[in-house]
């Protein structure tokens, strides 16, 4: 039987907690990925965001370029095709994207929490995308509660570590592929940097994860499922108990190459001044601490953004 990334109904976290926690832990230790259904995010919240981002990406290149802020590593607003590449890859990804960050009600608790920019050309862009940001953050908090229990911590372990996290909603447009002889792919193989990623729109073909035997497994889920995967920060915190699984987005074959693809990952980050120090519950004689040196999460992020071409080395 071909293996599949499992899908779990998040409502069971309230009704069947112990089993749910065991099952989600098993899914992550095996795959680093899990589909989440029963999340209650209305279709309209997702659909409104897709409408808004499709309108934005359809704007002329020079209009979109106005929304790129130099020196921020693409943290907010627009990043053009050809800028981001996977770590260790020679070829840039075939994608452009827009980043929405946290809206702050007062002064920024950390300088990396930049203000958002919003495109004036698309009516309702902020309302639509920020509604999705908020909904995904809430779902992410619930997934982190389940993972905290799996890791032998209090359910609310992550709450005060993410409440002003520098989380980012990334709306991605992979344009139709005109040059089918290109060496680039839509998203070169990589691991996500953050704690967890919640991916909306993964029911469109193309996403694949790397299995331990070296094969690529397509992630196929039914519509409405949100795929949630572990990123490098959580892998590091858990001493690789929860693996940050390598994944990529491949170019479609044949006629499908002329179709665009859209997807919306939400990269959930800890507070920028949170220090990632390996959990004691994840260290033992068989699994000695791989990271005896703790690291500030914003410093870690900066190192990683350099590797993928989003910020220049100082």
Ligand X SMILES: O=C(O)CCC(=O)C(=O)O
232 binds ligand X (CB under 6 A): no
Minimum distance from CB of 231 to ligand X (Å)?
Answer: 9
Least spacing, CB of residue 24 vs Fe ion, in Å = 19
129 binds, among Fe ion, ligand X, none (CB under 5 to 8 A by kind): none
Distance (Å, rounded) from C-alpha 55 to C-alpha 59? 7
Task: Report the C-alpha dihedral over residues 78, 193, 42, 13, rounded to 10 degrees.
Answer: -170
**Quick one: which of 195, 191, 194 has its CA closest to 151?**
195
Q: Which of 172, 198, 217, 276 binds ligand X (CB under 6 A)?
A: 172
Residue 193 found at the interface with ligand X (CB under 6 A): no
Single residue of 64, 76, 247, 269 touching ligand X by CB under 6 A: 247
Question: How many Cβ atoms from other residues are within 10 Å of residue 84's Cβ?
Answer: 23
Q: CB of residue 202 vs ligand X: minimum separation in angstroms?
A: 5
Dihedrals φ, ψ of 77, to 5°? 75, -145
| Binds ligand X (CB under 6 A): choice among 83, 143, 146, 187 | 187
State the minimum distance, in angstroms, from the CB of residue 231 to Fe ion: 8
Q: Of 53, 207, 230, 241, which one interacts with ligand X (CB under 6 A)?
A: 207
Which span (105-113, 199-207, 208-216, 232-240) binds ligand X, by CB under 6 A? 199-207
Could you say whether residue 167 binds ligand X (CB under 6 A)? no
Residue placing its CB nearer to ligand X in the complex, 86 or 149: 86
By CB under 5 A, the residues from 175 to 194 that bind Fe ion are: 192
Q: Which of residues 94-113 bind Fe ion (CB under 5 A)?
A: none
**Nearest-5° Cα angle at 168, 81 to 99:** 35
Rounded to the nearest whole angstrom, what is the least distance from the CB of residue 196 to Fe ion in the complex?
Answer: 11
Q: Does 100 bind ligand X (CB under 6 A)?
A: no
Q: Any idea how long the chain is?
A: 314
Residue from 79, 194, 202, 298 in contact with ligand X (CB under 6 A): 202
Cβ-based nearer residue to ligand X, 25 or 201? 201
Binding site for Fe ion (CB under 5 A): 192
Binding site for ligand X (CB under 6 A): 170, 172, 187, 192, 199, 202, 207, 247, 249, 263, 265
């Amino acid at each position: 039987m071909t293996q599949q990334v499992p899908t779990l109904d998040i409502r069971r976290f309230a009704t069947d907690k112990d089993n749910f926690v065991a099952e989600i832990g098993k899914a992550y230790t095996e795959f680093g990925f899990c589909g989440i259904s029963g999340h209650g995010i209305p279709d309209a919240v997702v659909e409104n965001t897709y409408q808004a981002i499709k309108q934005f990406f359809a704007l002329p290149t020079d209009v979109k370029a106005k929304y790129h802020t130099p020196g921020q590593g693409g943290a907010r607003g627009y990043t053009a095709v050809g800028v981001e590449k996977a770590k260790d890859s020679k070829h840039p990804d075939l994608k452009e994207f827009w980043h929405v960050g946290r809206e702050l009600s007062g002064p920024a608790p950390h300088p990396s929490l930049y203000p958002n920019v919003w495109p004036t050309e698309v009516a309702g862009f902020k309302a639509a995308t920020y509604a999705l940001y908020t909904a995904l953050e809430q779902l992410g908090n619930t997934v982190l509660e389940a993972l905290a229990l799996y890791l032998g911590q209090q359910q609310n372990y992550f709450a005060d570590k993410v409440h002003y996290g520098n989380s980012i909603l990334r709306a991605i447009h992979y344009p139709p592929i005109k040059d089918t002889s290109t060496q680039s792919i839509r998203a070169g193989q990589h691991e996500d940097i953050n704690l967890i990623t919640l991916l909306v729109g993964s029911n469109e073909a193309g996403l694949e994860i790397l299995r331990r035997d070296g094969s690529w497994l397509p992630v196929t889920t039914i519509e409405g499922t949100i795929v949630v995967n572990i990123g490098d920060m959580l892998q590091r915190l858990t001493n690789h108990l929860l693996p940050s699984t390598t994944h990529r987005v491949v170019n479609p074959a044949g006629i499908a190459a002329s179709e665009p693809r859209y997807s919306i990952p939400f990269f959930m980050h800890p507070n920028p001044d949170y220090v990632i120090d390996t959990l004691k519950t994840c260290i033992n004689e068989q699994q000695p601490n791989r990271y005896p040196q703790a690291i500030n999460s914003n410093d870690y992020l900066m190192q990683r953004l350099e590797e993928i071409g989003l910020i220049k080395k100082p």
